[in-house]
Amino acid sequence: MRGKRPAALGGLRIRDAGPEDAEALAPLLAELGYPDERARIAARVASFASDPSSCLVVADDGRGLVGFASASVLPLAHEDGRWCRLSALAIAEDRRRGGAGRALVEAVEAFAREFGCALMEVTSGERPEREAAHRFYAALGYEEVSRRFLKEL
């Protein structure tokens, strides 16, 4: 979204997150399964703002935030070009199925295109509470293609 005019959809505005959004992001992160303190969230918002290859966008209905998405562009060693990873997407439970999720994903995809990314990647946990998210991504054209391995450092 950087340098672009914020997108609007039926009274919903998609815009870059700012430090003032940290408090409103807290319950959305908690719904996603990642509760945290406002100060730590604000620090992460600032980190996204200072990284031109990452974005953190929010869906604002004029009364508050209804969702957010974050993404980062990844250079590749194994092929030409870049990919973009959608690292988080959360919509307030009472606002789901209203277009905010689709609008946020479209904003992130536009961001990725600005960097010449060839692919979007998203990971989603293999838990029953993520089944609706899996259906959502599939409806947007995302395909399940691989496994993911993580290791804490």
Is 11 inside a domain boundary? Answer: yes
In a domain, residue 150? The reply is no
Residue 102 falls inside a structural domain: yes
Of the chain, the percentage scoring pLDDT greater than 90 comes to 46
Domain membership of residue 145 (yes or no) is no
**Once rounded to an integer, what is the mean pLDDT over residues 65-79?**
91
* Secondary structure class of 35 (helix, strand, coil): coil
| CATH number of the domain to which 82 belongs | 3.40.630.30
Mean pLDDT of 111-116: 93
| The two structure tokens encoding residue 89 | 């997407």
The residue-averaged pLDDT of 29-43 equals: 89
Give the residue numbers spanning the domain of 109: 7-139
* 146 lies in some domain: no
* Strand, coil or helix: 69: strand
Q: Assess if residue 12 is contained within a domain.
A: yes
pLDDT value of position 93? 84
* One-letter amino acid for residue 29 of the chain: L
The answer to the question of residue 149 being in a domain is: no
Is the pLDDT at 52 greater than 90? The verdict is: yes
The number of domains in the chain is: 1
Q: Looking at the chain, which runs of residues are DSSP E strands? A: 7-9, 12-16, 54-60, 65-75, 82-91, 117-122
Is residue 80 assigned to a domain? yes
pLDDT greater than 80 at residue 8 = no
